[in-house]
């Protein structure tokens, strides 16, 4: 059994991660930390989890390093840097669910997160943990940077086409809508019930921190720098992300040819489902699962060439976070990729 620990486990992602790991046939959870809940049983903090006698403990990295071989970090952005570095130097493997190791440039990280990266050399060793793109690198990785939820939905929508000669990578527009769990479990006025109920609003327009992450990965696929427009929205539901991505085509084509590109690209992927023509992905269609549902549409009426429109749906706490982290673990350790993740979406 692989011994794993969850650091910073009292939030929504920590809860989902623990739920998945406790049911995983190849894993033993040996520790879980929380500063505010230290000393409390997990079942007293998360009433939905009753199949463990684990207690939350305070963060003592030197002590914790002796308890596990793989560490999942659910710490806030800026807080993971030192812990990742210590565990890596102690010969441990890490899957970091924060943004601290997703960006390859320390300068870009400083620009968007307003803090210096103290361990810039480790950025080159970290692998961006989107299995559909980086499976072979993940297998050999010691540090996996688990992608953000918005980037997961956006990158999967555009990955098959952005590197194609027919795509204009300078024309990308991404519109995403997320449930409130994406903001975390901490109390904050913008996410209180009376603030979000019966309301939809855009936020962080042109300045959302996931923008450079999306640009970095799409730029790698396009083999050139990519600048795009990304606008996130908050919607009044617990979980889920619906993304609509737009990219202009330089060569005239048809929906059948585009469908073949998408079908071929994701043919062997266990968690990406390309929907039939005319079927619209929905957050409820993937809720509680590690799936990403995609549909493509072609607008041929545009004045400056055809526009490809891709709609994607994910559960932000699973495919956009904890489920993807478990998928990365399965790849790193040679487990079946869907091990612990054979979750059908729950409907309604």
- pLDDT tops 90 at residue 189: no
Angle 293-71-111 (CA atoms, 0-180°, nearest 5)?
Answer: 70
DSSP 109: H
For domain 2-146+321-332, give the fold. Rossmann fold (3.40.50)
**How far is residue 297 from each of residues 80, 89, 174, 258, measured CA to CA in Å?**
40, 48, 15, 9
39: buried, middle or exposed (CB in 10 Å: 19+, 13-18, 0-12)?
exposed
- pLDDT tops 90 at residue 175: yes
Distance CA 246, CA 235 (A): 21
Distance CA 98, CA 73 (A): 7
> Both tokens of residue 78?
């800026």
- pLDDT tops 90 at residue 95: yes
Please tell me the predicted confidence (pLDDT) of residue 344: 87
List every span in the chain annotated with CATH 3.40.50.720: 2-146+321-332
Q: Torsions phi, psi of 141, nearest 5?
A: -80, 150
- pLDDT tops 90 at residue 186: no
Map tokens 């059948």 to a residue: 256
List every span in the chain annotated with CATH 3.30.360.10: 150-314
Residues 285 and 265 sit within 8 Å (Cβ to Cβ)? no
DSSP 221: H
> Both tokens of residue 242?
């619906």
Give kind and range of the element (H or E) at residue 264: helix 255-265
Q: What is the CATH number of domain 150-314?
A: 3.30.360.10
Average pLDDT, stretch 289-303?
93
- 149 an active-site residue? yes
Q: What pTM, to 2 d.p., does this model score?
A: 0.96
> Both tokens of residue 143?
């540090």
Length of the chain counted residue by residue? 348
Per residue in 251-283, pLDDT (tens digit) is 999 999 999 999 999 999 999 999 999 999 999
Catalytic residue chosen out of the listed positions 15, 149, 194, 292: 149
Phi-psi label, residue 223: left if phi above 0, alpha if psi -120 to 50, beta otherwise: left
Q: pLDDT category, 301, cuts 50, 70, 90?
A: confident
Per residue in 69-89, pLDDT (tens digit) is 999 999 988 899 999 999 999
Map tokens 């910073």 to a residue: 8
Q: pLDDT category, 151, cuts 50, 70, 90?
A: very high
Per residue in 198-255, pLDDT (tens digit) is 899 999 999 999 999 999 999 999 999 999 999 999 999 999 999 999 999 999 999 9
Average pLDDT of the chain to the nearest whole number: 95
Q: pLDDT category, 304, cuts 50, 70, 90?
A: confident
Residues 135 and 329 sit within 8 Å (Cβ to Cβ)? no
Average pLDDT, stretch 182-202?
81
Distance of CA 65 to the CA centre of its chain: 25
Residues 30 and 1 sit within 8 Å (Cβ to Cβ)? no
Question: Sheet containing 56-57: which strands, arranged edge to edge?
Answer: 56-57, 27-33, 2-7, 70-73, 93-96, 143-145, 126-128
Average pLDDT, stretch 56-80?
95
Distance CA 310, CA 316 (A): 18
Per residue in 7-30, pLDDT (tens digit) is 999 899 999 999 999 999 999 999
- pLDDT tops 90 at residue 119: yes
Average pLDDT, stretch 40-54?
92
Residues 309 and 327 sit within 8 Å (Cβ to Cβ)? no
Share of the chain above pLDDT 70, in %: 99
């Amino acid at each position: 059994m692989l011994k794993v620990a969850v650091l910073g486990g009292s939030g929504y992602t920590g809860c989902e991660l623990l739920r998945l790991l406790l049911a995983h046939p190849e894993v033993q959870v040996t520790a879980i930390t929380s500063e505010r809940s230290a000393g409390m049983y997990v079942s007293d903090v998360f009433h939905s989890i009753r199949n463990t006698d684990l207690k939350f403990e305070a963060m003592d990295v030197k002590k914790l390093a002796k308890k596990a071989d793989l560490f999942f970090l659910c710490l806030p952005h800026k807080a993971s840097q030192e812990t990742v570095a210590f565990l890596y130097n102690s010969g441990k493997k890490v899957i970091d669910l924060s943004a601290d190791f997703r960006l390859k440039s320390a300068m870009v990280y400083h620009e968007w997160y307003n803090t210096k990266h103290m361990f810039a050399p480790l950025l080159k060793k970290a692998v961006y943990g989107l299995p559909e793109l980086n499976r072979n690198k993940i297998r050999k990785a010691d540090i996996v940077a688990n992608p953000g939820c918005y980037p997961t939905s956006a990158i999967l929508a555009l990955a098959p086409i952005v590197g194609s000669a027919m795509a204009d990578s300078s024309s990308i527009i991404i519109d995403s809508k997320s449930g409130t769990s994406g903001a975390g479990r901490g109390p904050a006025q913008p996410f209180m019930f009376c603030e979000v109920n019966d309301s939809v609003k855009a936020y962080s327009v042109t300045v959302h921190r996931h923008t450079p992450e999306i640009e970095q990965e799409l730029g790698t696929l396009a083999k050139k720098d990519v600048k795009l427009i990304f606008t996130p929205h908050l919607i009044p539901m617990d979980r889920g992300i619906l993304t609509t991505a737009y990219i202009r085509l330089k060569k005239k084509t048809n929906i059948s040819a585009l469908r073949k590109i998408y079908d071929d690209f994701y043919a062997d992927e266990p968690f990406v489902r390309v929907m039939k023509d005319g079927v619209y992905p929905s957050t409820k269609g993937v809720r509680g699962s590690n799936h990403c549902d995609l549909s493509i549409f072609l607008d041929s009426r545009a004045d400056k060439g055809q526009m490809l429109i891709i709609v994607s749906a994910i559960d932000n706490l699973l495919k956009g976070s904890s489920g993807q982290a478990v998928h990365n673990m399965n790849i790193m350790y040679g487990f079946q990729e869907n091990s612990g993740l054979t979750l059908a979406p729950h409907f309604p």
